[in-house]
């Protein structure tokens, strides 16, 4: 079983839809969870950061962590064509500056 | 304007040649990382460095080498021993004691 599983998609939705992106993981030691957005041929940019379980909201974006199920989600409300990108989940067990474990990314396309 | 720069953006290399990818950051971050991204593979860690003059191998270090002589710089050399070097290479950095990584724009290397 891979450490982090993420459905690669592609996921296609109409403008204005609510999008749900998900990752599952196997390592119960993971405590820090991130979502990155990557546009084509660009570097990933940090979108959301969450520590342990719970929800975090930032504008149209909500990150949710359920450690009991080893499941994290990113919700995008009122999706826009500019949200079309690949979304990568990432996680780590500590803050020691060691490398993150990434999912393979989900490609999202929002049509106008 | 703080950030991470990578150069060149595109690089072409003949088989059997070594090539060095540049990564510079002015964020005063202690830790720096190199990842490789292939289609459908997600990000895989090549090398990382938590402090000047020290670095550790990641999951796929074979055929690569790095140096960390300055805090701001973490160049990656792709040697002729790397069997399949064509990929998108991403450099990242983070503050000491944190795991939130910030990425550069990437270098796309193509071996001809």
Average pLDDT over residues A29-49: 93
Residues 6+ apart with CB under 8 A from A78: A16, A18, A60
Name which of A70, A76, A89, A80 is nearest A112 in CA terms: A80
Q: Does B1 touch chain A (CB under 8 A)?
A: no
Rounded to an integer, what distance in angstroms lies between the CA atom of residue A108 and that of residue B109?
25
Which residue among B6, B48, B103 sits closest to A99, beta carbon to beta carbon?
B48
pLDDT tens, residue by residue, A64-101: 999 999 999 999 999 999 999 999 999 988 766 567 89
pLDDT tens, residue by residue, B18-37: 999 999 999 999 999 999 99
The neighbour count for residue B46, using CB atoms within 10 Å, is: 27
Mutate to test the interface with A, among B25, B99, B101, B109 (most CBs of A within 10 A): B99
Q: Is B82 helix (H, G, I), strand (E, B) or coil?
A: coil
The pLDDT of residue B39: 84
pLDDT, greater one: A36 or A98: A36
Q: Does A25 touch chain B (CB under 8 A)?
A: no
The pLDDT of residue A97: 55
The neighbour count for residue A63, using CB atoms within 10 Å, is: 22
Which residue among B4, B45, B103 sits closest to A99, beta carbon to beta carbon?
B45
Q: Which residues of A touch B45 (CB under 8 A)?
A: 99
The DSSP 8-state label assigned to residue A16 in this structure reads T
Q: Does A96 touch chain B (CB under 8 A)?
A: yes
**Residue A26 CB burial class (10 angstroms; 0-12, 13-18, ≥19):** exposed
Q: Does B39 touch chain A (CB under 8 A)?
A: no
E strand or H helix at B23: strand B19-25
- Report CB contact under 8 Å: B97, A95: yes
């Amino acid at each position: 079983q891979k450490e982090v599983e993420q459905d690669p998609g592609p996921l296609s939705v109409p403008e204005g839809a609510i999008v749900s992106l998900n990752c599952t993981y196997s390592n119960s030691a993971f405590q820090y969870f991130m979502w990155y957005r990557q546009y084509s041929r660009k570097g990933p940019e940090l979108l959301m950061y969450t520590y342990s379980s719970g929800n975090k909201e930032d504008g149209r974006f909500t990150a949710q962590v359920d450690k009991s199920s080893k499941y994290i989600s990113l919700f995008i409300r009122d999706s826009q064509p500019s949200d079309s990108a690949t979304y990568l989940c990432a996680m780590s067990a500590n803050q020691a500056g060691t490398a993150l474990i990434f999912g393979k990314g989900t490609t999202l396309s929002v049509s106008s | 304007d703080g950030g991470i720069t990578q150069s060149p953006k595109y690089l072409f290399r003949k088989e059997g040649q070594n090539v060095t990818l540049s990564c510079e950051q002015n964020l005063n971050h202690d830790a720096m990382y190199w990842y490789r991204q292939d289609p459908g593979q997600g990000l895989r860690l090549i090398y990382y460095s938590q402090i000047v003059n020290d670095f550790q191998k990641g999951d796929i270090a074979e055929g690569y080498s790095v140096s960390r002589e300055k805090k701001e710089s973490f160049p990656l050399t792709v040697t002729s021993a790397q069997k399949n070097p064509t990929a998108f290479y991403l450099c990242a950095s983070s503050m000491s004691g944190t795991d939130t990584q910030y990425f550069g724009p990437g270098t796309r290397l193509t071996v001809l």
